[in-house]
Amino acid sequence: LSSVLFPGVSPVEYESGEAVPIFAELVDSRKTQVPYKFYDLPICGPVGELENAQKAKRKSLGAKLQGQASVVSPYSIAVKSDKGCTPMCQITIGSKKLRWMRKLVERQYRVHLTLDSLPVLMRSKELNYAVRGFPVGFTAPPNYTGLKEDEYYLYNHLRFTITYREQADEFEGVRITGFDVHPVSIQHDLVDSNADLSRSSIASCGSDSIVRNDPESYLPLRTGPTGEPLTILYSYSVEWQESHVPWSDRWDVYLMGNPDDDVHVLSIINAIMIVLFLTGSTATIMVRTLRNDIALYNELDDLEDSQEETGWKLVHGDVFRPPSTSPLLL
């Protein structure tokens, strides 16, 4: 029952070579409250075998209550199968879409992916931090680029690192224990729009090459010199690494320090102060109202007690009193 209501609570074993879909969630930002869907971005669509994975996706009870919608991403992953630089598709975007993408980069929007119910992480062991999701792109100041204003760059290549554990004496198959990503911005060598990317030879994206961030080959989000649209070649690579981390401890890394922790602490303190202020104001109003009502009721009781009985009300005391001078009337 727990595996149905709460997917990700119980471990899942995979066989070597088995396809594991990566799901994409909303693209959001801490600087604004407006999220976007994953396929609102100019990104490649899922291929044939990945489209059927959406039907097998089981949401957790919390995801259903919150209305979270996840879709299959275009990245094809097979258990323990490393992939070098793999081109996916080539997309051309115009000036209007470019301006929107630059706003996403400026507002620090992040893309969130999940594999085996694990959110993707960007982390640094040297700086001891881990951040969920990866940014759409990044900006470079004028003193770096030599331009008059900030330059915007797009991350169009993803290097996935997936850690797993095998232990034949405890379980059969492979358990996934980590899901990391390293985004890269690179100007790939473009091919003809009608060419088959899987069979094309791309010097910047060879199957044996490792794509790295190089300032000389960053992909800027701008049109050509005469206003030509920007053509983007998306790619990714996958590396599987065996790990000794138990499946039950795979969430520990998500508790590492995060550069945005200060923002969370300030937001929590702000929310607590607002709740305390509203609670105090409501309690003060209720106490004052109750005091006035109680005082009014006490005044009415005292007024009724202080009134003297007159007229016919005095008769009720003599109705059943026996006569003292004429006992024969009894």
**Are 254 and 119 within 8 A, CB to CB?**
yes
* Residue 307, pLDDT score: 57
- The first and second tokens of residue 124, run together, are 């640094």
What global pTM score does this model have? 0.73
Contact 244, 165 (CB under 8 A): yes
pLDDT for 46-100, tens place per residue? 876 555 555 455 555 556 665 567 889 999 899 999 998 888 888 999 989 999 9
pLDDT tens, residue by residue, 162-190:
999 998 888 888 999 999 999 999 998 87
Half-sphere exposure of 246 (CA within 13 A, CB side): 4
**pLDDT reported for residue 3:** 47
The residues of the chain scoring below 50 in pLDDT are 1-6, 55
The pLDDT value given to residue 257: 56
Find tokens 């640094």 and name the residue. Answer: 124
Contact indicator for 198, 191 with CB cutoff of 8 Å: no
Pairing of strands 157-165, 118-119: unpaired
Q: pLDDT value at position 1? A: 42
